[in-house]
Structures are given as C-alpha cells and as structure tokens.
Homo-oligomer: A and B are copies of this chain.
Amino acid sequence: MPARQPSKPRARRQTPEARPYHHGDLRRVLIDAALQLAAEGTEVSVREAARRAAVSPGAPFRHFPNRDALMAAVAEEAQRRFRTEIEMALGEAPATDALGRFRAFGLAYLRWAMRNPAHFEIISTGRYFAHGSSAELTRDNAELVALTEQMLTDAAGQGLLRSADVKCIQIAGRALVYGFARMNLDGHLPRWGVEQGEIDRMAEGVIDLFITGIAKH
C-alpha cells in the first residue's frame, strides 16, 4: 500500500480522509463487491460494484474488458469456495467406502448450494457469461466430473452397484443434486410442499433414496 505524498500535489483534498488516487486493489474489491451483491440478491451490475468500491463507473473496465469477464472472475471465486467445501467433506470420508464417499460428495454439494444460492447460480447457469470463456472453471468442472466417475467406478469394482452402467448413474446423480439445488434456487421447493426448515432433511433423504436405489441390496 503506497503512502500518499501530501507534500507536492496541489491540495485536491485536504480533508483527513484524502484517499490516494489509485485504489490499491480494485480488481479484488470489485469481485468481492459483486459476490456480496449476489449474496444480497441484488442484481449484479458493473456500475453498482463500482459504486460499492467508491470508484467511477468506468474504472472497472480497466480490470475487466467487459461485464462478462467480471462475472467470470466472480464465478471463479465462488467455484473455489465450492470446491473447498467439497474437498473438506471428502477429506473426512473414509477412502475405502466408495459409495459412502459418493454420498458425502452429494451432501456437501447440496449443503453448499443451499447456503450459497446466489453463488451457486453464478457458477451453474450460463446466463451470466459463457462458461467456456474461463479455463479455470472448465478445468475445475472436468475434475469434479472425473472425481464422481472414479467414485462410481470404484463402487462398481467393489460390487456395490446394481447396474453396471456407471455413466447413466453418474448423470442421474448429478441431475438429482443439480435439480434439487435449482429447485431451491428457483423457489420451487415450497410449491412442492417442502418448507424452509425441512430442506436440509429432505436433501439428505433424496440422496439416501438415490444411494439405496443404485446399491446392490
């Protein structure tokens, strides 16, 4: 953080809160502001993020070529937090029980999605920006895909699955958690008779139903 030089420059602002002309780390602050806007339910706009950072409306474009690039950076940050949650959950699951790990994965997925709906939406929907434009997001996602496939392949190898069609099970599992998370996000759960306080229990019930369904008796 460079200290300002009050000696030379013409006193553009003698008041004690004279901020330096340069912000310091505007890029970071803009991402955080956008994340917070999303978390608040406010629609994310470049100008509003700039406003929160107490900076002119054009300033963000020095750090992001356009709105989509800002949103991509926001999504990358959200995705990082998401992955952290997943990895912590898997770190606590016994490495030997493939199906148990698959279950822990699903629970962590839903847990995070329920608690961070706006961030989950930014990650998941392609509306805010083209997902393919972020190499980090693409890579991260491929790793998660590979991870679930590995867990199911292991489970199949241990003779835990009823069906040998690992890919179909993988897609179905992903669709299940994604669908549940989006139902929550899109406000469908109340309309389907799931009250607020009931959500976490239902998330677990749905996952266990699925695990039971694919497991060999």
Contact string against B for A residues 184-205, beta-carbon threshold 8 Å, 1 for contact and 0 otherwise: 0011100111100000001001
- Minimal Cβ-Cβ distance residue in B for A182: B182
Of A45-53, A60-68, A95-103, A171-179, the one with at least 4 CB within 8 A of chain B: A171-179
Distance between A144 CB and nearest chain B CB, rounded to angstroms: 10
Contact of A188 among B163, B178, B191, B194 (CB under 8 A): B178
User: Which of chain B's residues have a CB closer than 8 A to the CB of A131?
Assistant: 187
Q: Is A124 an interface residue (CB 8 A)?
A: yes
- Minimal Cβ-Cβ distance residue in B for A190: B132
User: Which of chain B's residues have a CB closer than 8 A to the CB of A179?
Assistant: 174-180, 182
A176/B174 contact (C-beta < 8 A), A126-B187, A205-B165, A205-B168 known: no
A169/B125 contact (C-beta < 8 A), A141-B191, A183-B174 known: no
How many copies, total?
2
User: Which of chain B's residues have a CB closer than 8 A to the CB of A125?
Assistant: 186
Contact string against B for A residues 137-180, beta-carbon threshold 8 Å, 1 for contact and 0 otherwise: 01001100100000000000000001101011111101111111
Alpha-carbon distance between A126 and B189 when the two chains are bound, in angstroms: 12
- Minimal Cβ-Cβ distance residue in B for A204: B168
Contact of A171 among B145, B175, B202 (CB under 8 A): B202
- Minimal Cβ-Cβ distance residue in B for A142: B191
- Minimal Cβ-Cβ distance residue in B for A184: B175
Contacts beyond the supplied A172-B206, A179-B182: 20 A-B pairs with Cβ under 8 Å: A124-B186, A126-B186, A131-B187, A145-B192, A145-B193, A162-B212, A167-B193, A168-B205, A169-B209, A171-B194, A174-B188, A174-B192, A175-B175, A175-B179, A177-B179, A178-B179, A178-B183, A178-B188, A209-B214, A213-B213
